[in-house]
Each structure stands twice: as C-alpha cells, then as structure tokens.
Structure 1
Amino acid sequence: MKKLTEETSAGKLEARPSGLDDLIQQGARQIVQQAIEAELAALLERYDNVKTLDGRRTVIRNGYLPKREVVTAIGPVTVKVPKVRDRSGSGVKFNSNIVPPYIRKSPRVSAALPWLYLRGVSTGDMGEALSVLLGEEAKGLSPNVVSRLKAQWADEHTLWNQRDLSNARWVYWWADGIHTGLRSDDSDGQCLLVIIGVKPDGTKERVAIGDGFRESKDAWCELLLDLKARGLQSGPLLAAGDGGNGAVGSIGRSVPKDSTPALLVSQDWKHSQRLAQITARAG
C-alpha cells in the first residue's frame, strides 16, 4: 500500500485515474500487430509449396522493417512490419493491407476497443470489428487472415478468462461499466464490466472484463463470483466504483468473506483529487 500511496502523492494516479488509456493503447498495439502477423502467415502459406532446386522454401521471413507509429485517438501505437526474402528472385514482397498511410489516424479507437471485445471476440464478427479499428479497407482482408485472427484472439481470451487467481493479490480495484456508444441490434442495455487492479508493486492490470446488463448488481456478482471460483483468495484493500453501477456493493458481498475490502467507496471518476485523498488515508 505504501507504493500505491507514494505514486498517488506524486500525482501519477491523478493524471490517469482508471488506467484505461494505458490498457486500451496496449490492446490497440496488440490487435494491429497480430493482424499484420496473420497477413504475413497467409502470404507464407500461399508460397509454402514453392521450393528451390535444393528443396528449400523460396519465400521466407526476413526480419522486420524499422518500427513505425500509427497515430490513434489515445496516442501513438508502435508496430513492426515484417519483411520476406524471395530466394527465387521473382520479387515476392510483403505489403500489409492494414498499415498503409491511411491508418495513421484512427479517431474511434478509444470507443472501439471494448466493442471489439464484445462483438469481435464474443460473436466472431472479425471483419466488422477490424473495420472499426483499422478503417473500411480492413474489410478487404482475406478470409484466411480473418480466420487466423479469430482463432488466435479466441484462444487468448479463453486462456486469460480461465487463468488461476490463487496467487493473485491487488491492493486497489477500480470497477466501472463502460458504455461504448456503438450499437448493434442485440446490444440494448449491454455494457462492458471492467475491473482494473493495482498490484502491491504499483503495477496496473486488468482483473476482469465481462459483459453485463445495465451494470446491475447481479451482473457484477456473477463476474466477481467467477474470480472467486478461479481461486481468488483475497480481495483488495480498497475498492472504488460509481455509486450507481452496483459494483461496490457486489464486491463487498462476493469477494472471499475473510478479505472484504477495508474501504469501499463510491465516487465520480472526474474527482481524482478525492481519490488521491481516500487512497492516502487507506495506506
């Protein structure tokens, strides 16, 4: 808790109270990089049976171009575009369809990432999801590339959502429901339930992400009980959430009974100075 208090006093938590910007930026970089790698894998697969006279593949990976930045609404995202080597001399090159100059500005990334999780990962609608993040040109990605991304993201989501929490420890939780503003036919009342945690060393990370109906207590309880079922031994020392979203009361009821947070607060995220004062007293 000392580390958390020191960081709060220094203003680090005031500058970015929920940590969501950092996590969204990380997610944007990962999604773009994975899409590029899936494009490359599709190209290599296309030439997999083309061999040189001595039996070697003609088209192979050959490192990366210098890192480049893609500008998004939440800041620059650094990606690496891979290169290929064509041993046959026929001039085969790798050109990504999703990182040309037009992707240097993506104003909807902040709103799109939660929606990508709900619609892209949950329903498999990868073509539409990628177009939200990367622009209309992303709809032209081959079915093979989209299939690779779908499988990779689904596997990563499953592993993360089933991870063992028996050794997990957090001193602080922020819990909030996110309404993206992006709508579909079946999204009425749905939102993204997010818990961000601060570890004893001050590191921020995602604790839980799930979909819920109107931020109800039942939805929060279901999310929290899943954490408990995966081995969570103790809740945070301090938990905070919007007073109207049902999260704070659910945390008190659903975390292990011998580790109810020492302080549960309902607060407006805009009042970061108040958050700093509460956190300092809890330390």
Structure 2
Amino acid sequence: MADSTLRTLSQPEPQVADPLHELLRQGARDLIAKAVEAELATFLAQYADQRLDDGRQAVVRNGYLPERTVQTGIGDVSVQVPKVRDRSGGGARFNSSLLPPYLKRARSIEELIPWLYLKGISTGDYQEALAALLGDQAKGLSANTVSRLKKQWEDEHTEWRKRDLSDRRYVYWWADGVYSNVRMDDRLCLLVIIGVTEQGRKELVAVEDGFRESADSWKTLLTGLRERGLTQAPKLAVGDGAMGFWAALSKIYPETDHQRCWVHKTANVLNKLPKSVQPKVKADLHDIWMAETRDEAHKAFDRTLKRFEAKYPKAMACLAKDREELLAFYDYPAEHWVHIRTTNPIESTFATV
C-alpha cells in the first residue's frame, strides 16, 4: 500500500460546502458589494455640487447598516449596505435598489454565479445575469457600471490563475473536461482539476479553457501549475481514460499514480453492449470495484472477462485495457476508496454548468 500522509478524507458534504461553491459564494458576496458601491457612487454624484457654507460636501457616506444575509441557491451570502449622511439637513437618504431592506432571498443566484466564474460572459449577458439575481431592479445599472464590475472580476480571476502554489501539497487529484452549453466551439471545454490536501480539504486547483482529449492543452495547464511552484506531485490522479490529461501528467508529474474513473469506464463498456445484457455486465463490474481486496478484484475481473469476452469482445477489450489503472485505488487507504474510484467531486460541483 502506498504511503499517505493524508489524515482523513471527509465524507461527501452537501453541495454548499463544496470548495468551488465556497469560492462562488465568496464571489457572490464580492459582486454584490461592488454593485452596491457602484450604486452609491452614482447616488453621491447627484449631490457632488451641494456644499455647506464652509465648503464641505453636503452628502457623504457614513458607514454601513448592520450586516445581514440573503438566502441563495449556494447558501447564505452576507451583505452590507452603506449609509449616507446629509449634513445640510435636506434628508437625502441612500436606498439600494439591488439590496432593498425586504430582500431576504435571491431568486436565481445559482444561475448567475456559474456564468460569472465559468463562462466568460459578455457585458450584455452580465446585465441579464444581474437581472436573474435581482429581477427588474437590476435594469437601472448602466453599461459602464456593468463593464467596470466585469473588469474587476476579470482582474481577480487573472490574479487567481497566477497565484503562488509553492506551499500547496496535494495527495489526490480529480481531473476532467467540463462542457458548457454556451461554448461556440463544441470541442472546447473547461479543463478542471480539484485536489485534496494532506489535511483532507478539497480545493479547486485549476480551471482553464482547452480541449479534453488534447495532451497539449493539459500539458499547458500542468506546466503552468509547476511553474507557479507546485513542484510536489500528487500521489494519485483520478480521471477518465479518454483524456489527454494522462499523457501530459506522465511528462510533468511522472511519479503520480493513475486511477481510471469507474463511472466513465462503466458507461464506456455498457455502450458497447446490447441493452438486454447491460444489467448483467454492470452487476459484474460492481463486483470488481466493490471487492474487499485487490486479489478478489482480480478474480472478479477474470470472471467477467471469461463470461462475456467471447460474445462481446469490444466491450471486454475496453474493460481489460485499463485493468491496472482501474485497480490502482487498492494501493491507498481503504477509507479513501469511495472517494478515489470516480471523478464525482468534479461532476457534483459542475452539475449546473
């Protein structure tokens, strides 16, 4: 069994606790704060020429209202609305149309945030996304405000992509290519890596545009990680065998073990079989990856091949070609097997994209 410094790998958590959703929730908080600040700037500009007798600005910002939360599809998001003070006594008061006092629950933030972080939307679509969050109240945002907000987020994403990784240590990686309905090129997707640290925390390691089957796309991504300080390879990487990821991984992090995703492999094998036979083969595949030991898994593997190889050679060849990579998880702690047999951490995170 391979040595592992990972103390514990927590059981699957509700989607809101997923590392990417935490990132998205932070993004929602930042977006709302910046949008409200833009509202406030527009409001104060209306009073820019109003001065007191001593020359001071008549209407100025004056702290914040108490923090409150807005319920969203990715969890509660903390928000604060700034206050203004009218020194002239004229009664000027700032009321955010984006965060009115009665707003307790956002309508569709789960539709908005993945656009912002994952789809690189245009300015026009950004306006639509804000409308999805706040309804007709968002229509007052000018194109300049939307462009400024988008630029701020693009800058933040660029900084995230350049972040130093020299202190990061990952035990496991899950890799996949995630396709989006809005891509102009059907082949282009998001190349995604999620990692788990030695402390058992899942983190988003990389998200880049690329081609799933292209070794060059994955090599560019992995080379970027290494150049930013991620020199220590993960012990095990999990993914579908059809990706160019594996060829790139062997060049950039050759010491990493390869584990094929059992969900992808099962689907690929079943697709080569008549529907009438699929339940029987699926049950046999289940017996392989649920075996308590590697030896028992090999025995189940042999039984499956012997039972179906003569009549369904293509399906069994698909299964047999990745035999060692399908069973690599047996080299790791048994309590981790449920997590490292599939790429479920990626699929559950990106299910709405």
Q: Same fold (TM over 0.5)?
A: yes
The one of 331, 337, 340 equivalent to 1:278 is 337
Partner of residue 57, structure 2: 57
Identity score, percent: 45
1:133-212 mapped onto 2 (5 Å cutoff): 133-181=133-181, 183=182, 186=184, 188-212=186-210
TM-score, length of structure 2 as denominator length: 0.62
SS at match of 2:26: helix
Letter of the aligned partner of 1:104 in structure 2? R
Query: Which stretches in structure 1 are left out of the alignment for 5+ residues?
Result: none
Residues 281/94 of structure 1: CA separation in 2 closer, same or farther (3 Å cut) = closer
- C-alpha distance in structure 2 between counterparts of 1:197 and 1:44, whole Å: 45
- C-alpha distance in structure 1 between counterparts of 2:93 and 2:242, whole Å: 52
Residues 89/151 of structure 1: CA separation in 2 closer, same or farther (3 Å cut) = farther
Partner of residue 105, structure 2: 104
Using the TM superposition, give the Cα deviation of residue 141 of structure 1 relative to its aligned residue in structure 2, in angstroms: 0.7
- C-alpha distance in structure 2 between counterparts of 1:47 and 1:205, whole Å: 46
Tell me which stretches of 4 or more aligned residues in structure 1 moved more than 4 Å: 14-18, 122-125, 273-276, 279-282
> Does the CA-based 8 Å contact 1:42-1:144 persist in structure 2?
no
> Does the CA-based 8 Å contact 1:212-1:220 persist in structure 2?
yes
- C-alpha distance in structure 2 between counterparts of 1:48 and 1:169, whole Å: 52
- C-alpha distance in structure 1 between counterparts of 2:189 and 2:133, whole Å: 19
1:79-98 mapped onto 2 (5 Å cutoff): 79-98=79-98
Letter of the aligned partner of 1:216 in structure 2? E
1:10-89 mapped onto 2 (5 Å cutoff): 11=11, 13=12, 15=14, 19-89=19-89
- C-alpha distance in structure 2 between counterparts of 1:62 and 1:224, whole Å: 48
Query: Which stretches in structure 2 are left out of the alignment for 5+ residues?
Result: 265-285, 291-328, 342-353
Partner of residue 128, structure 2: 128
Partner of residue 283, structure 2: none
> Does the CA-based 8 Å contact 1:240-1:248 persist in structure 2?
no
Using the TM superposition, give the Cα deviation of residue 156 of structure 1 relative to its aligned residue in structure 2, in angstroms: 1.2
Residues 102/115 of structure 1: CA separation in 2 closer, same or farther (3 Å cut) = same
Using the TM superposition, give the Cα deviation of residue 15 of structure 1 relative to its aligned residue in structure 2, in angstroms: 4.9
- C-alpha distance in structure 2 between counterparts of 1:90 and 1:227, whole Å: 57
SS at match of 1:33: helix
Residues 76/238 of structure 1: CA separation in 2 closer, same or farther (3 Å cut) = same
- C-alpha distance in structure 2 between counterparts of 1:82 and 1:142, whole Å: 20
TM-score, length of structure 1 as denominator length: 0.75
SS at match of 2:8: helix
* Number of matched pairs: 268
Letter of the aligned partner of 2:163 in structure 1? R
Partner of residue 239, structure 1: 237
Please list the CA deviations of residues 142-186 of structure 1 after superposition, one character each: whole Å capped at 9, or x if unmatched.
Answer: 2342233123112212222222333333233233333454x36x2
Using the TM superposition, give the Cα deviation of residue 85 of structure 1 relative to its aligned residue in structure 2, in angstroms: 1.5
Letter of the aligned partner of 2:145 in structure 1? V
- Structure showing greater Rg: 2
Please list the CA deviations of residues 199-234 of structure 1 after superposition, one character each: whole Å capped at 9, or x if unmatched.
Answer: 333444322122234x33343333222223333312
SS at match of 1:145: helix
Residues 281/132 of structure 1: CA separation in 2 closer, same or farther (3 Å cut) = closer
Letter of the aligned partner of 2:105 in structure 1? R
Partner of residue 261, structure 1: 256
Letter of the aligned partner of 1:191 in structure 2? C
- C-alpha distance in structure 1 between counterparts of 2:185 and 2:116, whole Å: 13
Residues 231/71 of structure 1: CA separation in 2 closer, same or farther (3 Å cut) = same
SS at match of 1:106: coil
Letter of the aligned partner of 1:159 in structure 2? E
Letter of the aligned partner of 1:22 in structure 2? E
Letter of the aligned partner of 1:76 in structure 2? D
